[in-house]
């Protein structure tokens, strides 16, 4: 379960709970799980920005001590707890998708027993691109990068 949180921007203190679920009102009379109401166990890969946390990957579940599995498969964060993605958040997600694509190519190359000169050239080119991508991605999260990116986007 991801809870409708992947590729979303939330407040830094956000944590999934029955109270911030899209189904919270319905669950007050017809709970979806025996542990209602409670806070969820939450695992995530998130990137801190000055205006919140950008959730790259998310998994939500629960276990209530002494009870069988009580996970709610209907948890979905209510839109009022999400912030609008701005250009620098979207750009980060684009860079993240490209990073994943490049790592897939690197993994494929690693599995080859012998490399051709073409494989070596591809690797060298992609590695330079990968390193530049990581530097750009990391700069987006710094305090000054938001302003720099917005300025570049405004002039584009």
Q: Where are the domains of the chain?
A: 8-83, 87-155
Residue 26 predicted with pLDDT over 70? yes
> Structure tokens of 75?
């948890």
Q: What is the DSSP letter of 32?
A: S
Residue 115 predicted with pLDDT over 80? yes
Residue 48 predicted with pLDDT over 70? yes
Strand order in the sheet with 41-49: 41-49, 52-61, 8-10, 82-83
Predicted pLDDT of residue 132: 96
> Structure tokens of 111?
């599995």
For the whole prediction, is pTM greater than 0.75? yes
Predicted pLDDT of residue 98: 97
DSSP H/E element including 43: strand 41-49
- Pairwise pLDDT comparison (153 vs 42), residue with the higher score: 42
Please give the average per-residue pLDDT across 66-76, as a whole number: 68
> Structure tokens of 150?
């917005």
Predicted pLDDT of residue 120: 96
Residue 6 predicted with pLDDT over 70? yes
Report DSSP letters for 107-141, one per residue. Answer: HHHHT-SS--HHHHHHHHHHHHHHHHHHHHHHHHH
């Amino acid at each position: 379960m991801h809870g409708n949180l992947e590729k979303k921007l939330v407040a830094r203190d956000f944590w999934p709970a029955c109270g911030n679920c899209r189904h919270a009102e319905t669950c007050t009379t017809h709970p979806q799980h025996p542990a209602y109401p409670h806070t969820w166990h939450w695992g995530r890969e998130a990137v801190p920005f000055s205006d919140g946390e950008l959730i790259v990957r998310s998994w939500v579940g629960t276990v209530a001590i002494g009870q069988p599995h009580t996970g709610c498969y209907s948890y979905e964060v209510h839109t009022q707890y999400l912030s609008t993605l701005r250009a620098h958040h979207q750009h980060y997600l684009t860079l993240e998708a490209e990073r994943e694509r490049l790592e897939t190519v690197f993994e494929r190359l690693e599995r080859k027993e012998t490399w051709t000169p073409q494989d070596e050239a591809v690797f060298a080119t992609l590695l330079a691109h990968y390193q530049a991508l990581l530097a750009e991605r990391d700069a987006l999260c710094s305090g000054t990068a938001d302003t720099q990116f917005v300025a570049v986007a405004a002039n584009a």
